[in-house]
């Protein structure tokens, strides 16, 4: 089982395991959330995609004072071992907080409920939304995989994931991601492309380095807001009617035209039925 060794080590010596991109990234993401989430009389719903040992989510157990805030925290990870480890780390952190010395000066303890779910973010139907969705290292991990996602037209995980994540964010809510594989510009491009209803909100500065006259960062943290009027579930775009295009669409079989058919379905009778194609192909046609 993945996370088997981490669970054993945690049970033996209480070591929580790898903190991806270090404590500093957790602190930066938590500080961003504190600055940008409006205080609420009801619990703020926070989801971490690929929650691992849960240390990022569990940073919401406390807030910089003066006022506590209620949170409902959800970790989703496809590894049952991660869900188990998250629950164990939660228990230990709550116990530690009973000891006042563990609390940073000015921090307050929040009323928090947690759930640790086992689920596949690329394939499972998750019919819920959250106020804030977090990703630290999960998009990076998924993007390394070349296994096509059959449930999403055999496209690569790196293409499918942004659409999937957008569906989990409440309209007007936030998606906050820290990545080490993608630059800030690449992250923005991938999470605001056509069919992904996000708008860039802000980014969090990290230490930078310069090489050959260029300035770079090893890690970037980028925030997006979920468009209020975006599609509730992002699917490949429908083409405009042929009469509205300046040149005809290629007609023929997928093999003849090079067009990959991902999915076809009936649309409501308010509009004619169009061919549903990969947006990357659509963009190459003059419409
Ligand atoms: C690099 S780790 C990051 C863990 C955690 N976010 C952190 O910062 O410590 C990536 C996590 O994503 C999970 N993961 C990868 N693909 C997933 C998928 N399709 N659905 C759910 N979880 C996934 C892995 O099990 C792993 O725990």
SS3 202: strand
What is the β-pairing status of strands 44-49 and 62-64? unpaired
**CA 224 to CA 170: how far, in whole Å?**
12
Least confident of 35-39, 46-50, 146-150, 239-243: 239-243
Nearest residue (by CA) to ligand 1, atom 13, is 50
Would you put residue 50 in left (φ > 0), alpha (ψ -120 to 50) or beta?
left
88 contacts 55 by C-beta, under 8 angstroms: no
Nearest atom in ligand 1 to 19's CA: 9
Please give the structure tokens belonging to residue 137.
């290292």
What's the CA-to-centroid distance between 49 and ligand 1, angstroms?
Answer: 7
User: Quick check: 16 pLDDT over 90?
Assistant: no
Q: What residue ranges line ligand 1, CB within 6 angstroms?
A: 20, 50-53, 56, 76-79, 82, 120-122, 136-138, 141-142
Task: Name which residue leads in pLDDT, 274 or 38.
Answer: 38
SS3 234: coil
User: Quick check: 282 pLDDT over 80?
Assistant: no
**CA 4 to CA 270: how far, in whole Å?**
53
How high is the pLDDT of residue 99?
82
Q: Work out the average pLDDT over 251-264.
A: 46
Q: Work out the average pLDDT over 71-91.
A: 97
Q: Work out the average pLDDT over 28-42.
A: 97
User: Quick check: 267 pLDDT over 50?
Assistant: no
Q: What does pLDDT average to over the chain?
A: 83
**CA 280 to CA 264: how far, in whole Å?**
17
What's the CA-to-centroid distance between 248 and ligand 1, angstroms?
Answer: 43
Nearest atom in ligand 1 to 142's CA: 16
Question: Which domains are assigned to the chain?
Answer: 4-226 (3.40.50.150), 236-287 (no CATH)
Confidence at 250, pLDDT banded by 50, 70, 90: very low
Q: Work out the average pLDDT over 10-26.
A: 89
**CA 220 to CA 207: how far, in whole Å?**
9
Nearest atom in ligand 1 to 161's CA: 19
Please state, in angstroms and as integers, the Cα–Cα distance from residue 135 to each residue in 54, 180, 222, following that order: 11, 12, 10
Rg (CA), the chain: 21
How high is the pLDDT of residue 230?
63
Least confident of 126-135, 188-197, 249-258: 249-258
User: Quick check: 271 pLDDT over 70?
Assistant: no
What is the DSSP secondary-structure string of 162-179?
HHHHHHHEEEEEEEEEEE
**CA 165 to CA 187: how far, in whole Å?**
13
* Helix 4-13 and helix 80-97, axial crossing angle in degrees, nearest 10: 20
User: Quick check: 81 pLDDT over 80?
Assistant: yes
What's the CA-to-centroid distance between 249 and ligand 1, angstroms?
Answer: 40
Least confident of 21-35, 74-88, 238-252: 238-252
Report whether the peptide linkage leading into residue 71 is cis, meaning its omega lies within 30 degrees of zero: no
**CA 118 to CA 77: how far, in whole Å?**
5
Share of the chain above pLDDT 90, in %: 66
Compute how many other C-beta atoms are within 10 angstroms of the C-beta atom of residue 219: 21
Q: Work out the average pLDDT over 257-280.
A: 42
Please give the structure tokens belonging to residue 110.
């929040």
Confidence at 237, pLDDT banded by 50, 70, 90: very low
Please give the structure tokens belonging to residue 251.
């007609």
Q: Work out the average pLDDT over 75-100.
A: 94
Q: Work out the average pLDDT over 70-88.
A: 97
Least confident of 5-9, 80-84, 161-165, 193-197: 5-9
User: Quick check: 256 pLDDT over 50?
Assistant: no
6 contacts 81 by C-beta, under 8 angstroms: yes
């Amino acid at each position: 089982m993945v996370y088997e060794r981490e669970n054993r080590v945690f049970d033996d010596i209480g070591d929580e395991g790898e903190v991806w991109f270090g404590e500093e990234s957790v602190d930066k993401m938590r500080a961003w959330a504190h600055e940008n989430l409006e205080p609420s009389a009801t619990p703020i719903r926070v989801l971490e995609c690929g929650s691992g040992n849960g240390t990022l989510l569990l940073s919401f157990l406390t807030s910089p004072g003066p006022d506590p805030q209620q949170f409902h925290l959800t970790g989703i990870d496809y590894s049952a071992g991660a869900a188990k480890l998250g629950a164990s780390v939660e228990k230990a952190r709550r116990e530690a907080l009973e000891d006042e010395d563990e609390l940073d000066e000015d921090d307050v303890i929040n009323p928090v409920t947690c759930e640790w779910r086992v689920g596949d973010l690329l394939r499972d139907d998750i019919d819920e939304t959250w106020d804030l969705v977090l990703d630290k290292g999960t998009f990076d991990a998924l993007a390394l995989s070349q296994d096509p996602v059959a449930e999403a037209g055999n496209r690569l995980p790196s293409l499918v994931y942004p659409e999937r994540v957008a569906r989990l964010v409440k309209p007007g809510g936030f998606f906050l991601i820290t990545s080490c594989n993608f630059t800030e510009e690449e992250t923005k491009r991938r999470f605001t492309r056509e069919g992904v209803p996000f708008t860039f909100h802000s980014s969090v500065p990290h230490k930078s380095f310069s090489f050959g006259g260029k300035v770079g960062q090893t890690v970037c943290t980028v925030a997006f807001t979920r468009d209020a009027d975006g599609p509730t579930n992002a699917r490949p775009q429908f083409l405009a009617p042929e009469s509205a295009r300046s040149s005809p669409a290629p007609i023929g079989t997928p093999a003849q035209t090079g067009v990959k058919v991902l999915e076809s379905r009936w649309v409501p009778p308010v509009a004619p039925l169009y061919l549903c194609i990969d947006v990357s192909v659509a963009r190459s046609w003059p419409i």
